[in-house]
Amino acid sequence: MFLLSKIMQYKLILGMFCAGLYATSSLCIKASVLAAPLDLAAQEVQAEMRRVGQVRFTAPDFKPGTIRHMVMFRFKPQTTRAERFEVTKRFMELAELSHRMDGKKVILSLETGPQISGENADIGLEQGYLVTFASEGDRNFYVGRPIVTDIRYFDPAHDAFKHFAGAYIAQAVVFDFPVAMRSQP
């Protein structure tokens, strides 16, 4: 009963803190989402962080190699054109603002564009972003919460962006992958 009570308190506090909003990278999520089981990738990432610790997990040399972090947003219907522009502008500013305590930037490149596919498979997503990192450690530092909880080991600029953008986002989809193969025509 005590554990259930603590979980309910946590959900209530987080729900109030986030004003019931869903933001990128799971910083502010609806309380109902908290009860959802973690997918396999999330379970593996969180287990790895617990195994190696936050310091190693977010180190620049942790699992080096090109990592792509795809983010797609569906905006709330009431989000104005100006607010959408501001969300994208602030997201793009992370290319310069996201850095470690020593000043080293964590993002190699950041691209964005609107959904223009005619395949009818966009599930309502409207804007896409592609963030590239030099290692999983840089990606882990950038993503931060809810996986990395010690403020010394996550990016405060991205954290602030998630707080800001949550008010305008109806849905966010995030998909990360290591670049395993490249092909050029």
Can you tell me whether residue 163 is helix, strand or coil?
helix
pLDDT per residue over 101-138, tens digit each?
Answer: 999 999 999 999 999 999 999 999 999 999 999 999 99
Q: Can you list the alpha helix ranges (DSSP code H) found in the chain?
A: 2-17, 31-34, 40-52, 54-57, 81-97, 136-143, 156-165
Could you give the count of Cα atoms lying within 13 Å of 139 in the half-sphere of its Cβ?
A: 25
Q: Hey, what domains does the chain have and what are their CATH numbers?
A: 21-27+36-178 (3.30.70.100)
Q: What's the pLDDT at 36? A: 64
User: pLDDT tens across 143-167, in order?
Assistant: 999 899 999 999 999 999 999 999 9
Q: Is the dihedral of CA 19, 21, 23, 26 positive or negative?
A: positive
The enclosing H or E element of 150 equals: none
Q: Is the entire prediction scored with pTM above 0.75?
A: yes
Residue 59 pLDDT greater than 70, yes or no: yes
